[in-house]
Amino acid sequence: MSSPDSKPFFLWRHLNKLRWLSLSIVFLMLILIPFLHLYQTYIAAHAYDLLYPSEKVIYDSMETLTAPFISDPENDLDLLKGTTWSGRLFGLDLSDPLALAGQIAASGKLLWPFVLTALIPIGLTLLLGRFFCGWICPASFLYELNTTLGAWLRNIGLHTGQRRMSRKFKYLVLFVGLLLSPLLGSVAVAAIYPPAIVGREIYYAIALGGFGVGAVFFAATLLFDLLVARRGFCRYLCPGGALYSLLGKFRLLRIQRVVEDCNDCAKCNAVCEFGLDPLRDGFGMECNNCTACIAVCPTDALVFKVTPKDQPDRGPGHLGRQYRRAHNENAEDEHEP
């Protein structure tokens, strides 16, 4: 009944909480970094006494926050810069693979220093699939909160959109976006890619005094998710999601169902924000290893496995009623709970 790899480590059932922690940390960093930059500019100006009271609050709090770790804030804080689109994480330059694809498409040139910054995310995506969407993406953080809002709205009796479209549409968005880039003379996908938008709009709002046009677009995608399809933008339109899905097609780390432990309760299908079908082994390219289904599974039937391919549909779970009815003639599992 219980397979050997069902509980590999002690945090097993709490991976989803860990994921929320990771999403919140990334989001808080995106808010913190502009404030750190403001702090740096105040230091560079050498005029503490001329700051406004509100600016002094920023200066003092950031000084308190960073003083234990760094000695020269004006230069040392440069080690932590940017957004998930392209940034510097403790001195390590990282870029979104979509930024690389968009830039190559727009300028037609391969810039090796830039390619190097995208190598680590590409490698991780090849191994882990769409993990960025579930574990890091700052837009995902807001979209999942948006989904929660949608659930509340349904609880009070309002309708939210539950439409289904073709998942392939996002590949069209990706390729049209890349093809249009040289035509439009800019990296077109950067303007419609939510994590890039969220990162830069937070910076604009905090450091430059106001949201840009991207905030309007992002608000529209939130409404789209609420009124048309749950997590619709990520599932059907996001060009980055499309690229990650393509890169993660043969990912090694996959959530798989242990058919012997499954009792067909279908909670996994209900909780899956991407509308996948864990109940019948339908994970595919879109699964972003978010582990929400693992957290909700009452019988620990969903586990991580290292395999380059999904297993085929293995039918009804062995603890479920359907399976037992079909195998009742054997009458072996009568004592099962």
- Which member of 59, 135, 143, 203 binds another protein (CB under 8 A)? 203
- Which member of 45, 92, 145, 252 binds another protein (CB under 8 A)? 45
Q: Which is nearer to another protein, 8 or 185 (CB)?
A: 185
Phi, psi of 304 (to 5 degrees): -80, 135
Name the segment binding another protein (CB under 8 A); options: 110-118, 251-259, 311-319, 327-335: 110-118
Supply 211's token pair: 């949201």
Order of strands across the sheet with 92-95?
A: 80-82, 86-89, 92-95
Mapping DSSP onto H, E and C, the string for 169-204 reads HHHHHHHHHHHHHHHHCCCHHHHCCHHHHHHHHHHH
| Contacts of 16 by beta carbon, 8 Å cutoff, 6+ apart | 290, 291, 292, 294, 295
What is d(CA 109, CA 100) in angstroms, rounded to the nearest whole number? 10
Question: Which residue has 């979209």 as its token pair?
Answer: 143
**Residue 40 makes contact with another protein by CB under 8 A:** yes
Minimum CB separation of residue 234 from another protein in Å reads 19
**Residue 111 makes contact with another protein by CB under 8 A:** yes
Name the segment binding another protein (CB under 8 A); options: 5-13, 31-39, 303-311, 329-337: 31-39
- Which member of 133, 137, 142, 190 binds another protein (CB under 8 A)? 190
Q: Which is nearer to another protein, 93 or 260 (CB)?
A: 93
- For residues 97 and 118, the answer to whether their CB atoms sit within 8 Å is yes
Question: Letter for the amino acid at 159?
Answer: H
Site for another protein in 49-108 (CB under 8 A): 74, 78, 81-83, 85-88, 93, 95, 99, 102-103, 106-107
Which residues bind to another protein, rule: CB under 8 A?
33-34, 37-38, 40-41, 44-45, 74, 78, 81-83, 85-88, 93, 95, 99, 102-103, 106-107, 109, 111, 113-114, 117, 180-187, 190-191, 196, 199-200, 203-204, 207-208, 211-214
